[in-house]
Chain A
């Protein structure tokens, strides 16, 4: 939102409950129905199974589906259908044991590790890593050797062995949110720790936990079936895994007897995984409608005409942007984030694009640079550079030539795995076809030019080894390394301290004058505009509302929005006098 309105952003009727959202998700419904059917089938097995699952008929050995045994008979002549119906019981019980054990151990230890200090964290983390490095199947085989086929015991142990997955997740999530502002605000508000853990931490991180629980349940079902398949189960219990093992013996005669239990197992496991995802989506409010900070324009204000009158640089200017429109798909339709924007900059001139967030100023310059995001489309207008129109295909992507870009966040704009020197020289070698030696020499020159004294040393450093101000200098060096005629700077000082900002502004100004570059400066700070710009274009909701020379815009703003913005600036506001501070107590 560009300007805050006192009304809430959007009216939504009463929020549907989590259950409702789950039901309205087709995958969620399907998985719930499948799982309910499997559970019902297992509970009702004694009543719905057509035959005794252990009763063998000699003439039904490896039989094809027939009137007596609808899905055929297995290797001992038992009814496959009845065994399928009974077999789900073990799978479900095993999964239940594992998930209960894993949740109890994983969540409690995860919270302890996140909260109870460094020593318990180190010890618990080591144990978790150790458990994760042991293949559970080997341990379960050893347990079978020692104690025989005891499903409950082996699943209990498996629950312990798999709990580190939950531990690691809960620990990492809890650490990531425990210093969030809202958790600290709750602490300051006197909310007791237990309540903070439940209401402010577990509730917020429950999404990934639920998905992980579904994963663990699915793994438990698989591992239980695997044990049975290896012949490490009880002979008397009917299980899907055991059925696969017996079917495997007769795989040449009756391959279908392997297919059925596997299919049922797969459908059950798949449903558990899907349900986990669906529940997560249903629980987290606004997840379905989660959107990036909006760039949308609701009421396009067509004031481009007003600007043209003030345009003092003609169509012969170095860069001219005319009626530029940039759109993003929003559902079926396209929404304009920049609509009919025109401006121009000549060599040796600095144009400031000012506006608040969502005004379209960054989108406009990315269109000029040909660096719009994948989803964006240039749906109208023309950009000419030195008289020649830039190729604006659907996305406005073109290889930027003769122009360079200085970004906002210095740190995130350097590739962390390459040295400063490599990042500076690679484009020079690739685009300007310089040799390694030439590129290196040029990079050294540039580094000293942007005020880095120990250029030899900095050349070898990785981005994490330099400060923010230094990183911004490196980026400026990179920008001018391509000998641009147009320099586009997107909020180049916003992330910097004010004293560093002064230095960077001086540097940009010097470089611009020295090389007689045209410069486009995007900023929200009128102080920066006053400092460095010759002309200004004030943007709002994707359009230019007013433009002109800096002196004119600051001294005699015409458009009410410009006036409001300048008034909102605190410069020259009256200071407060404590004696008028109001009565107290």
Chain B
């Protein structure tokens, strides 16, 4: 178990390094274009060269990369080319918003998929089962940002129950925070509801297993068989199915931040991209990968812990 954790962690670190290198090469490959966009189209070649030298972009790409990594290890991710703010600070300001949306979405999706999946599996072939399966399938076909827009039109414009835009910090105002995240989380979760059918499948598989019949033969009540045995065994595939949705949820949140004008990682990345802010982009990518690797690690551990075969080796 411990070697397993170490192996996963090492693999995660390797992934973070690899992604950083590749992103660096992408973002800094065409610095001329970036500098030109910063100094303006009418700048002379001299101005351009001067600005390039100021930003340290005239050095060899490899040298720049080494420096970037050396600084990054000390926690210094450079400063924004536009605002000169330290990148680390910008990201620390923005990350909690994105992270709270992602975590809320995972938790809500986990609960809904478990409840609906169990309900559909127990009522296999019934009307409720069919409605759940078809409904979740249709919702999953909708692009999430469009779903978010529809939610805004209905629940913020037609019936102004929730704010259409803005974010309230959780520490300042719990209810304000809750109403602010409701629509974005709803849009993300609805867009990933297809996982319910898979959870249903996992539970249905478990219900059909031989040992369930044997347990019933000893007089265990159906409720206990369902909650103690079926759901316990289906927990592992459930966690595994949810872990496959992490990236989708992250992507959804990044896009949906634009709909609700939430100042998270997504809007930061979009703004940095359109304005050519290299250091900020690098910071966003590295932060994203670190968070995702960490979330994956938690899911891996949870999964291994749920399976006695993996837990005991």
Contacts and interface: CB of A to CB of B under 8 A. Distances in A.
Interface of A: 126, 129-130, 132-139, 141-148, 218, 222-223, 225-226, 229-232, 244, 248, 251-252, 255, 258-259, 262, 265-266, 269-270, 273, 369, 371, 374, 399-401, 403-405, 407, 409, 412-418, 423, 426-427, 430-431, 462, 464-465, 475, 478-479, 481-482
Given A134-B247, A426-B220, A427-B215, A229 B152 contact: no
Contacts of B149: 244, 248, 251, 258, 262
Contacts of B270: 141, 230-232
B111 interface: no
Given A130-B18, A133-B15, A230-B270, 11 more contacts: A142-B273, A145-B277, A146-B26, A226-B144, A226-B251, A244-B145, A399-B219, A415-B229, A415-B233, A427-B215, A478-B218
B281 A404 contact: no
A506 B96 CA distance: 67
Nearest to A426: B220
B217 interface: yes
Contacts of A404: 217-218
A134 B292 contact: yes
B143 interface: yes
Interface of B: 11, 15, 18-19, 23, 26-30, 33-34, 124, 137-138, 141-146, 149-150, 152-153, 157, 209-211, 213-221, 224, 228-229, 232-233, 247, 250-251, 254-255, 258-259, 269-270, 272-274, 276-278, 281, 284-285, 288-289, 292-293, 296, 306-309, 312
B145 A226 contact: yes
A196 to B, nearest CB: 30
A145 B288 contact: no
25 contacts: A135-B250, A137-B254, A139-B26, A141-B270, A141-B272, A141-B281, A142-B26, A142-B273, A145-B276, A232-B270, A255-B157, A266-B141, A266-B142, A269-B141, A273-B141, A369-B217, A371-B216, A400-B219, A403-B217, A404-B217, A405-B214, A409-B210, A414-B214, A416-B309, A427-B219
A330 to B, nearest CB: 15
Contacts of B254: 135, 137-138
Contacts of B27: 142, 145-146
A404 B216 CA distance: 10
Interface of A is mostly: helix
Nearest to A270: B141
A262 B33 contact: no
B143 A417 contact: no
B269 A141 contact: yes
B222 to A, nearest CB: 9
Contacts of A482: 218-219
A351 B269 CA distance: 75
B293 A133 contact: yes
Contacts of A371: 213, 216-217
The 3 closest A-B pairs by CB, nearest first: A405-B217, A262-B146, A427-B218
A222 B281 CA distance: 23
A137 B251 contact: yes
A478 B214 contact: yes
Nearest to A223: B251
A262 B233 contact: no
A221 to B, nearest CB: 8
A230 B224 contact: no
Contacts of B292: 133-135
A414 to B, nearest CB: 6
Nearest to A263: B146
A417 B233 contact: yes
Contact of B285 (A139, A223, A415, A430): A139
Contacts of A252: 157
B137 to A, nearest CB: 8
Nearest to B284: A138
Contacts of A135: 247, 250-251, 254, 288, 292
B313 to A, nearest CB: 10
A87 B273 CA distance: 24
A130 B13 CA distance: 11
Nearest to A224: B143
A102 B247 CA distance: 18
Given A141-B281, A225-B143, A258-B149, A133 B217 contact: no
A161 B10 CA distance: 22
